[in-house]
Chains A and B, each alone.
With several copies, the nearest count.
Chain A
Amino acid sequence: MELLQFTPAELAALLLSIKVALWCMVATCIPGIFIGWLLARKSFFGKSLLESIVHLPLVLPPVVPGYLLLILLGNQGILGKWLHQSLGITVAFTWVGAVIASAVMAMPLMVRAVRLAVIQVDSGLEAAARTLGASSLRVFFSVTLPLSAPGIITGLILAFSRSLGEFGATITFVGNIEGETRTLPLAIYTYTQTPGGDVQALRLVILSVALALAALFASELMERRALRLLGNKAGRD
């Protein structure tokens, strides 16, 4: 089908999207799990503040977090300048910046999913592990973490999906540079802004959807496995 003969530029956008979305998962994973756990299990000063900050990207139009990232991490930004000058790292206008933008946007989803899952872990099991001589750290890794696996997987798939669809923050923070930051959504947006670009946009939409389906399918398999390990019925059929 002609509809599916993609130009090199489109394939580049596809590959870039995959790269960014995978790194977005990686980037949200550890902080997401940590913050989710913290919010589920600990009381500390500034908890509400932390929770609010994590959720902000969800609440604001994506342009705003994008703009804030620019102020913070742009080459002239407070942190970005330092990163650039001391470490030689540039995030603005690079694919790394795109990863950061989508990670920030995905973080609330990841954190909420993990938090929900951790809350539902029976804290009696953690206590049991401790009576068997496991330190808090070990309990976290050997009990809490595996038992919240379904939540972590949900969080990661949401992060991946969000990254695939992230547009506003990305274009605001790193712009639309072909081959560097033009992910699928940016490419799709470009086509929708051109009269008669609908067909091309549709091609890319199909591509996006296929990618998302593959990710969804993979996550389903992982989740079923995790659930089976937990002895949950939903893991069986």
Chain B
Amino acid sequence: MLEPMIELDIALDRGSFKLQAALTLEQSTAGTVAGLFGPSGSGKSTLLGILAGTIKPDRGRIVVNGRCLLDTARGVDIPIHQRRVGLVFQDSKLFPHLTVKGNLQYGFKLLAEADQRFGFDQIVNLLELEPLLQHRPSQLSGGEKQRVALGRALLASPGLLLLDEPLASLDERLKQQILPFLRRVKEQLGVPMIYVSHNINEILDLTQQLAVIDHGTILAHGDFHDMLTSDKLLSLANSLGPDNALSVELTGKSEELGYCIASNGDNVLFLPYTEAPVGARFSVVIPASNIALSRKKISGISIQNQIPGTVSAIRIVNHRALVTVDAGSMLIAEITAKALHDLKIKIHDPVYCLIKTQAIRYFGKGD
């Protein structure tokens, strides 16, 4: 394991809201992105502000990549502009007196050419800002503002990039265009990021490393997969729905037939096709509503994954039955009470979990 990307231990008292956050985020070879996830008003933006230096905590210590940015005990407080921490503000904070172009170039122009990690045109094209370059921020739509703010921060080539819900008001198409780019930024340029979103899937598209914050306290941090089992994470579970996460290793693939094979313990899983190399390890998520159960193995069906296991628990919630199956890993299947009744499934029964390949999502790596 490499040295931690971010070590953070801070406290801030704002009367009704108290932030008390200690956090260590690890570096990883595939680029480091940490997701920051938490309900509205939990302190996500505040935490980013403290990292960037725009908010002063009452006390604490921040070390990023071995560089101490803040240590109130030792009187260290690196000025904001020397932190090289880029922040995409939730409310964009564009300069109203500059055009879109001027905004984008603001930080870019301050850099020596060698330090410019992105080309100006590259970012403009990615974010589809070309027709807006001469506009003023007051003439932009909500999503356009967000794109300019993102571009402005990227062009400043920060050493650490903090993204505060950067895609919240973008449509699906733009999201699907920008997320893979951010993934490339992370993987190819190695710019570490902290990504705040209330949409867990957006985060999981980028990373499995996650910190969950609520009421100003970091409830848990680390690998999403490990975290799911922690029962502190009610707020997280609340928003995720009963989904399954599995850690797998890629063992084979066929581009032509559009699938990969991966092992999860003793089980073999068929996954949607991915570019990742054989041998790569990662997690996949399977929504509980996408797991069907059957009494026996079934042939002549397009469902490729039929994983045997034993029913270990059955819960009925809101007309829905949540069946936990011990299949090496624990899998939760969400079926109707009628199906439960029809199949007469009881605890300790052997069942097969039927999972469509296309219903499996990747974490951290995507297609």
Residues of A within 8 A of B (CB): 122, 124-125, 127-136, 138-139, 142-143, 146-147, 149, 229-232
Contact = CB atoms under 8 A, between A and B. Distances in A.
Given A142-B106, A231-B137, A131 B97 contact: no
A122 B137 CA distance: 14
A226 to B, nearest CB: 8
Given A124-B89, A147-B96, A231-B137, A131 B52 contact: yes
A41 to B, nearest CB: 15
B80 A131 contact: yes
Interface string B82-116: 01111101010101110000000011001100000
A230 B96 contact: yes
Contacts of A130: 53-54, 79-81
B54 A131 contact: yes
B271 to A, nearest CB: 39
A125 B84 contact: no
B110 A133 contact: yes
A49 B152 CA distance: 41
A142 B98 CA distance: 10
- Name, among B53, B80, B86, B158, the residue most crowded by chain A CB atoms within 10 Å (CB to CB): B80
Contact of A131 (B81, B96, B138): B81
14 contacts: A129-B95, A130-B54, A131-B81, A131-B86, A131-B153, A133-B107, A134-B106, A134-B110, A136-B81, A139-B81, A143-B97, A147-B96, A147-B97, A229-B136
Interface in B129-143: 136-139
Contacts of B139: 231
Nearest to B54: A127
A124 B45 CA distance: 13
Contact of A143 (B80, B89, B95, B110): B95
A132 B152 contact: yes
A148 B7 CA distance: 39
Contacts of B158: 131, 133
7 closest Cβ pairs, A-B complex: A231-B138, A132-B107, A130-B80, A127-B54, A128-B93, A146-B97, A132-B156
Nearest to B139: A231
Contacts, number: 79
Interface of B: 52-54, 79-81, 83-87, 89, 91, 93, 95-97, 106-107, 110-111, 136-139, 152-153, 156, 158
B53 A131 contact: yes
> In this complex, which of A131, A136, A142, A232 has the most chain B Cβ atoms within 10 angstroms of its Cβ?
A131
B136 A231 contact: yes
B15 to A, nearest CB: 13
A131 B89 CA distance: 10
A122 B97 CA distance: 12
A127 B80 contact: yes
A116 B79 CA distance: 27
A134 B97 contact: no
B107 A134 contact: yes
Contacts of A138: 110
Nearest to B89: A128
A45 B154 CA distance: 40
B97 A230 contact: yes
Contact of A125 (B80, B95, B138): B95
A125 B93 contact: yes
A6 to B, nearest CB: 42
A229 to B, nearest CB: 5
Contacts of A232: 138
A228 to B, nearest CB: 9
Given A127-B80, A128-B89, A133 B95 contact: no
Contact of B85 (A131, A146, A149, A229): A131
Contacts of A139: 81
A63 B85 CA distance: 55
A57 B84 CA distance: 46
Contacts of B106: 129, 132, 134, 142
A48 to B, nearest CB: 25
A229 B83 CA distance: 30
B93 A132 contact: no
A231 B96 contact: yes
A149 to B, nearest CB: 8
A135 B110 CA distance: 10
Contacts of A133: 81, 84, 107, 110-111, 156, 158
Contacts of A122: 93
Contacts of B93: 122, 124-125, 127-128
A133 B80 CA distance: 8
Contacts of B95: 125, 128-129, 143
B196 to A, nearest CB: 15
Contacts of A142: 106
